[in-house]
Amino acid sequence: MDYDPYSYEIDEDPYPVYRWLRDEQPAYYNERIDFWAISRFDDCLNALLDWRTFSSARGTVLELMDHELPGSMIIFMDPPRQTRMRNLVSKAFTPRRIAALEPSIREIAVGWLDPLVGAGRCDIVHEFAGRLPMDVISTLLGIPPEDRDMVRGWSNAVLHRDPGNPMPPKLALEAMQEMTAYVSEAIAERRRRPRDDMMSLLLEAEVADEDGSLHRLTDDDIRAFINLLATAGNETVTKLLATAIHLLWSFPEQRKLLLEDPRRIPGAVEETLRYDPPSQYQGRVTTGEVVLHGRTLPKGAKVLIINAASGRDERKYPDPDRFDVLRRFDQHLNFGHGRHVCLGKNLALRESRIALEEFLRRFPEYEVPEGGVERMHSSNVRGLKGLTLVY
Ligand code: HEM
C-alpha cells in the first residue's frame, strides 16, 4: 500500500489507506513524492500545537509547498507575524457580529431552496450548497446584494482546476484579478466613507505590540484576507453541506433522527466533520529534526498532518467508522487546532446548521439516483462537486 494524495483512487474512499497509515506507518514517508504524513489523533494534535517545529510558512497544500506563495495570507504565516494578523482580523470577526448574521443567513438559504420545492429533481451543489457560503461571506463583508452573483462567479472560478493539473488555469487567474480590482475599489470607497460592515472594521482595526507600537492592516493585507475567505470560507462549507446531505441519504435512520428532533442538527454537523471533513490534511514544514515512532524526520521535511485520519482513530473514538449523529465527543481536529484554528469556525457551524434546518424542512425525503454523485479531485479538499437529488 502507499498513500498518494494526488491519486484519483483515493478520491473514492481514503479511509482504508488512513487506517493502514495509523496502524502500520504512523510516521509515513513517501519517497516518490517526498513528503511525510502523520495520522494518529495524538500525533496530529501535538503537531498542530507545535507551530515552532511545524511551520506554515511554506504553505499548507502539498502541491504548493515548492512554489512561491502570496506573502500576506495569514494561513501561510508563523507567529509572531501570524499572531498580530490574527489579532487584527479577529476584531472584525467577533462572535457578536457572526451571531447577528443569523437572519441574513436564513434568508439567503430560503431564497435558494424555495424555488427547488416541487421541481422534483435538482443538483443540490449547483443550486444550493455551492451558492450559500459565498453569499454569506459577501453579506459579512458588506458587498451589496446586486453584486453577489458576480462575486460568487469569481470566487468559484478562482477555485477551478483543469483535470490533472493542480495549478490555477488562466480563467482562475483572470477571475482573481477581477476580484482584486473589485475589492480594491470597495476598500477605497470605505476609506472615504466607512460603513457598518466587516471591510470597514478591517480598515479601522488597530493592535499594539508588547513594545507599544501600533499596527494596522494595509490594503494589501485586506485584499489577501478577502481572497483567503473566498476560498477557505467558501469551498469548505459547500463541501460539508453536500457531504452531509449525501450521508443523510446513505443512512436514512440518521436522517430520521434529525427529522424527529431538529435540535440534533448541530451534533450532526460536528459528526459529519469528524466522519468525512472537507479539509483532509494541513501541510507543514519542519524547522528542525523530529523523532516520531522511531523514525527521524529531517529539518525541512514536508509533513501532512492528516486531520481526516485523526477523526477515524479508534484510539480516540469508539467505533469510528460508524456515522452516528447522536455521538458525543469532546473534540476533533477538522477545523485545525492551535494558533491557526479556523477563524470562521463559529460562522461555519452556524451556517451549516441553518442550511440543514431549512433543507430538511423542505426535503425530508429524497433519493440520490444512480450516477448522481460527482466527486471532486484535489490533494487536500474532499467532497462533491455535483449531487443530484430526486424528490
Ligand atoms: C466547514 C467549514 C470549514 C472548515 C472544515 C474549515 C477548516 C479550516 C482549517 C482546518 C483551518 C486550519 C488551517 C491550518 O491549520 O493550516 C482553517 C483556517 C482558517 N479558516 Fe476555516 N474552515 C471552514 C470554514 C471557514 C469559514 C466559513 C471561514 C470564514 C468565512 C474560514 C476562515 C478561515 C481562516 C481565515 C483561516 C486561517 C486562520 C489562521 O491561519 O490563523 N473557514 N479552516
CA of 329 relative to ligand 1 center, distance in Å: 21
- Give me the pLDDT at residue 168, please: 82
CA of 231 relative to ligand 1 center, distance in Å: 9
| Smallest CA separation from ligand 1 atom 6, residue | 335
User: Cα(80)–Cα(76) distance, rounded to whole angstroms?
Assistant: 12
Q: Is the pLDDT of residue 68 over 90?
A: no
324: which DSSP letter?
-
| Smallest CA separation from ligand 1 atom 32, residue | 344
Residues present in the chain in total: 391
Cα-to-chain-centroid distance, residue 355: 16
Q: Is the pLDDT of residue 71 over 80?
A: no
261 vs 169, residue with greater confidence: 261
Give the residue-averaged pLDDT of 365-370: 98
Spell out the long-range contacts of 365-374 with Cβ–Cβ below 8 A and sequence spacing 24 or more: 365/391, 366/249, 366/390, 366/391, 367/249, 367/391, 368/246, 368/249, 373/246, 374/125
- 194 Cβ contact list (under 8 Å, min separation 6): 200, 203, 204
Residue 73 CA: nearest ligand 1 atom is 40
Ligand 1 pocket check for 342: Cβ under 6 Å:
yes
| Smallest CA separation from ligand 1 atom 24, residue | 233
Residue pLDDT, tens place only, 322-344: 999 999 999 999 999 999 999 99
- Give me the pLDDT at residue 34, please: 96
| Smallest CA separation from ligand 1 atom 41, residue | 340
- pTM of the prediction? 0.96
- Give me the pLDDT at residue 378, please: 85
Q: Is the pLDDT of residue 165 over 80?
A: no
Residue pLDDT, tens place only, 205-245: 998 888 888 989 999 999 999 989 988 899 999 999 999 99
Ligand 1 pocket check for 381: Cβ under 6 Å:
no
What does the mean pLDDT of the chain come to? 94
| Smallest CA separation from ligand 1 atom 34, residue | 343
Residue 352 CA: nearest ligand 1 atom is 1
Cα dihedral 336, 342, 347, 350 in deg (nearest 10)? 10
Q: Which residue has the cell 482562475?
A: 172
- The pLDDT-based confidence of 199 (bands split at 50, 70, 90) is very high
Q: Is the pLDDT of residue 52 over 90?
A: yes
User: Cα(142)–Cα(193) distance, rounded to whole angstroms?
Assistant: 13
66: left (phi over 0), alpha (psi -120 to 50) or beta: alpha
CA of 118 relative to ligand 1 center, distance in Å: 35
Ligand 1 pocket check for 198: Cβ under 6 Å:
no
User: Cα(380)–Cα(304) distance, rounded to whole angstroms?
Assistant: 10
Residue pLDDT, tens place only, 86-104: 999 998 889 999 999 999 9
Ligand 1 pocket check for 343: Cβ under 6 Å:
yes
Ligand 1 pocket check for 156: Cβ under 6 Å:
no
- The pLDDT-based confidence of 67 (bands split at 50, 70, 90) is confident
Peptide bond into 168 cis (omega under 30): no
Q: Is the pLDDT of residue 315 over 90?
A: yes
Q: Is the pLDDT of residue 287 over 90?
A: yes
Q: Is the pLDDT of residue 1 over 80?
A: yes
259 by Cβ neighbours in 10 Å (0-12 / 13-18 / 19+) ranks as middle
CA of 370 relative to ligand 1 center, distance in Å: 33
Residue 278 CA: nearest ligand 1 atom is 5
| Smallest CA separation from ligand 1 atom 22, residue | 342
- Give me the pLDDT at residue 64, please: 86
- The pLDDT-based confidence of 269 (bands split at 50, 70, 90) is very high
| Smallest CA separation from ligand 1 atom 18, residue | 342
Q: Is the pLDDT of residue 146 over 90?
A: yes
Grid cell in block for residue 321: 467508522
Grid cell in block for residue 137: 461571506
- The pLDDT-based confidence of 47 (bands split at 50, 70, 90) is very high
- Give me the pLDDT at residue 244, please: 98
